[in-house]
Amino acid sequence: MDLKRIILLIVLIFSWQNSFALGSNSDLDILTGIGITRYNENSDDLSPISNAALTGINLNGTLLFPINNGQFWAPVFGGGMTFSALFGKENIGTYNSSTVFMSSLFLIANGGLKFGSTPSFSLYTLVNLGYSLYDKHSAEIETIFSTYHVDTEIKNHYLYGINIIGMFEKSKNFNMGGGFIFNRHSMRYNSFILLGKEPTNIGIDTTFDEYSFNFLISFNF
């Protein structure tokens, strides 16, 4: 490769990097949105609340702080909160069924990289680590004889996973896009099942996977 081609290649690389810097140079990115969340079946086959998969919605907000802007990529760190509400129903045997509702409020820390191939597009690849500040879990088990109410106390509910986000610039400092989240959840629940007049307490540790697809908007400052 001759000298002219080498110089041209260097100029193109610097122009590419500078175009990213001009298009996405920010000290703070605020992302918020709504999405669909699914929890797959929990890991405990003996769960008194059944192994029903849950589907529902989530509301989320995140603050991300890019570091060393001006390159093709930049490290980012930050965090936010996510609220989810999910519902599921499962047939148990021929005549029985279980209906489950679960809602949670998570505090989540994020870290990763922000990429930008053009001034109008940014890609975030993030690692998630979260802990639930609030959980509500209720279930009803219906049999041919009666309905059993299950009150559940959730403890030590945490998650870890990845978050992939793509954002398109719509106007200066305003973007729209979407994201995909995969998280692994772990928690312990103590279920109090009212069997007749005597409540039965069953404590179980369980894990399950989360898949979320989100619509997002963001503001750059």
DSSP string, 155-199: EEEEEEEEEEEEEEEEETTEEEEEEEEEEEEEEEEEEEEEETTEE
Q: Is the pLDDT of residue 194 over 60?
A: no
Of 191, 132, 160, 163, whose CA–CA distance to 33 is shortest?
163
- CB-based contact 138:98 (threshold 8 Å): no
**Tokens at 182, concatenated:** 């995969």
Q: How many residues does the chain have?
A: 221
Query: What band does 198 get if pLDDT is binned at 50, 70 and 90?
Result: low
Helices vs. strands in the chain: H and E counts, helices first: 1, 8
Mean pLDDT calculated for residue range 150-178: 92
User: What per-residue confidence (pLDDT) applies to 49?
Assistant: 47
User: What per-residue confidence (pLDDT) applies to 199?
Assistant: 59
Task: Tell me the per-residue pLDDT of 8-18, one tens digit each, with 9 for 90 and over.
Answer: 655 555 554 55
Asked which of 52-56, 120-124, 146-150, 199-203 is least confident by mean pLDDT, the reply is: 199-203
User: What per-residue confidence (pLDDT) applies to 20?
Assistant: 47
Q: In this structure, how many other beta carbons lie within 10 angstroms of the beta carbon of residue 201?
A: 9
Mean pLDDT calculated for residue range 203-221: 92
| Residues 48, 20: Cα–Cα separation, whole Å | 53
User: What per-residue confidence (pLDDT) applies to 116?
Assistant: 80
Query: What band does 83 get if pLDDT is binned at 50, 70 and 90?
Result: very high
Asked which of 31-40, 140-149, 200-209 is least confident by mean pLDDT, the reply is: 140-149
User: What per-residue confidence (pLDDT) applies to 190?
Assistant: 80
Matching CATH number, 3-220, of 2.60.120, 1.20.58, 2.40.160, 3.30.410: 2.40.160
| Residues 47, 43: Cα–Cα separation, whole Å | 9
Domain ranges of the chain: 3-220
